[in-house]
Structure 1
Amino acid sequence: MEEEQACTKSTTAANSPPPQRRQLCIHCDRPLPVCLCHVLPSTPLPTRTKILIIRHPHESRHKLNTTPLVSKALLNATTISSRRLLRHHLPDQSPPAIYLFPPTPSSPAVTLSQLKSTNLLNYQTTPLLLIVFDATWKHAKEMVRASEGVLKGFSVRVCLDGVDESVEGGSIYDSELVLRKEPFGGCVSTLEAVARCLGIIEPNGDEVQGVLIGVLREMVRLQAGFLKPVNPRVKMLKKSNHKEEEETNEIG
């Protein structure tokens, strides 16, 4: 009897239809319930700046990765899947370039605010190249370290204002639904980093930044609608705090 039941279950499983995959929008390549076509520009925005995003291969698995939205919104944005920047990734005639990454003791960086006063923004005929590394913080450090041989000599390291590794990172997703936690203060998503940088270096930077941030906010709003608020976990008290608490209870 048990063998017959097992056989029946096996046959039922074999005859059951395969699970349906989510339908994707043919324009923005996102699931239909979170389609962003209504906030993406009807035609990608042209920019004088060329944007080159080096995306770690693992990032393509993350559903909340914002790099595809950069390519959908900007005409001159190119994404390459690689663990480091290689020379053949660059244009034949390498233009003046900046790459976004926080400073280190051995590799200082200028902030976006300081960038305004440099001659890099006075380019006339040759557009500026913006290089961005899209990965987790751990992988991004590895990618930049592996790319330094190519980056040296033609590019300037630039960081966003407010980067501080001593401060706990927040979330660009302003909600009790933290969709993706940033590693430390000043870190943002790839889309927001590109938006803030273009806001400084593009002639119509405010307009470009406004469009990109609008896309990001709508993505967050739609995504948050499918998640339930999660109560924060109670943090474990240190042993010293436990001891103080026990002593207080004894006194009371």
Structure 2
Amino acid sequence: MELEPQPETSAPSHRRRSSCSNCNRPLPVCLCHVIPTSPIPTATQIIIIQHPHESRHKLNTTPVLTKSLLNATSLISRRLTPNLHPLLTDNHPSPATFYLFPPTHSSPAITLSDLKKSVNEFRNTNNVPVVLIVFDATWKHAKEMVSASEGYLSKFSTRVCLDGFDEGREGGSIYDSELVLRKEPCGGCVSTLEAVARWLGAMEENGPEIEERLIVVLREMVRLQAQFLKPMKPRPKKAQN
């Protein structure tokens, strides 16, 4: 017996969520109401080296930073190389260049509070820009990026870590709640946006005001995103042998 031919069914169409034309985020989590209307000027030139995978992450804070700060630029790369940015040329890298990353036994770092006085003195006596380099990625990828870049970075830049870094202490989330969006690996580790905010808070003339404006954006970003997540129970710690 022959079967009657079945009518063809077209594959269901997946509509892409509408995005804001200004902040490029989905409309339900648009941040235009908290992003500064005019980007905030800073004396620090900020270069964000972003891992290709991180550029596709939903909670990526780099686009928010570059829209909020006048002197912040981002580059997608797995490592920092000469001439990747105009401020990092072979011949004339700024002598006041710093990169934020937690220390290791082989690569110690100066704390932000210890650095503050010397940078302010340097800025007042030298007509060169202060350059801050940050790596935006998961912690695993960020370690790989820094390791691949340090041969070049060590020639002219200083490694800096935020105060409070403690490898032996468990890290928190990017905000205080029973919800966890992104768990940090240890104490003193924070999101890219918060790290830059804390640097500017310490180094800029009107730093506390700039830091607060950026943290307001971060808090709102997290608040909006949290509406679509369920509470996560902390994993029980395994007993160590």
TM-superposed CA distance for 1:148, in Å, is 1.2
State TM-score, norm by structure 2.
0.89
**Residue 250 (structure 1) aligns with:** none
After TM superposition, the structure 1 = structure 2 runs for residues 85-234 of structure 1, keeping only pairs within 5 Å, are 85-90=80-85, 91=87, 92=89, 93-95=92-94, 96-119=96-119, 121-124=121-124, 125-232=127-234
| Partner SS, residue 145 of structure 2 | helix
Distance 1:38 1:148, change over 3 A: same
**Residue 32 (structure 2) aligns with:** 37
Distance 1:27 1:12, change over 3 A: same
Q: Distance in 1 between matches of 2:149 and 2:3?
A: 60
| Structure 1: runs of 5+ lacking an equivalent | 241-252
Q: How many pairs align?
A: 234
Distance 1:236 1:70, change over 3 A: closer
TM-superposed CA distance for 1:231, in Å, is 4.3
TM-superposed CA distance for 1:117, in Å, is 2.9
TM-superposed CA distance for 1:153, in Å, is 2.7
Q: Distance in 1 between matches of 2:69 and 2:58?
A: 20
**Residue 21 (structure 1) aligns with:** 16
Q: Distance in 1 between matches of 2:233 and 2:190?
A: 24
| Structure 2: runs of 5+ lacking an equivalent | none
Q: Determine what percentage of the aligned residue pairs are the same residue.
A: 63
Q: Distance in 1 between matches of 2:65 and 2:179?
A: 23
* Amino acid in structure 2 at the alignment position of 1:133: F
Distance 1:84 1:229, change over 3 A: same
Q: Distance in 2 between matches of 1:117 and 1:183?
A: 29
Q: Paired residue for 2:49, among 48, 54, 67?
A: 54
User: What's the RMSD between the two structures over aligned residues?
Assistant: 2.3
**For the pair shown, which has the larger CA radius of gyration, 1 or 2?**
1
TM-superposed CA distance for 1:232, in Å, is 4.5
TM-superposed CA distance for 1:170, in Å, is 1.0
| Partner SS, residue 53 of structure 2 | helix
TM-superposed CA distance for 1:53, in Å, is 0.5
Q: Distance in 2 between matches of 1:146 and 1:224?
A: 34
Contact 1:71 1:79 in 2 (8 A): yes
Distance 1:88 1:226, change over 3 A: same
Contact 1:173 1:180 in 2 (8 A): no
* Amino acid in structure 2 at the alignment position of 1:54: I
Distance 1:12 1:210, change over 3 A: same
Q: Where is the helix percentage greater, Structure 1 or Structure 2? A: 1
Contact 2:120 2:203 in 1 (8 A): no
Distance 1:76 1:4, change over 3 A: farther
Q: Give the stretch that moved more between structures: 87-96 or 115-124.
A: 115-124
State TM-score, norm by structure 1.
0.86
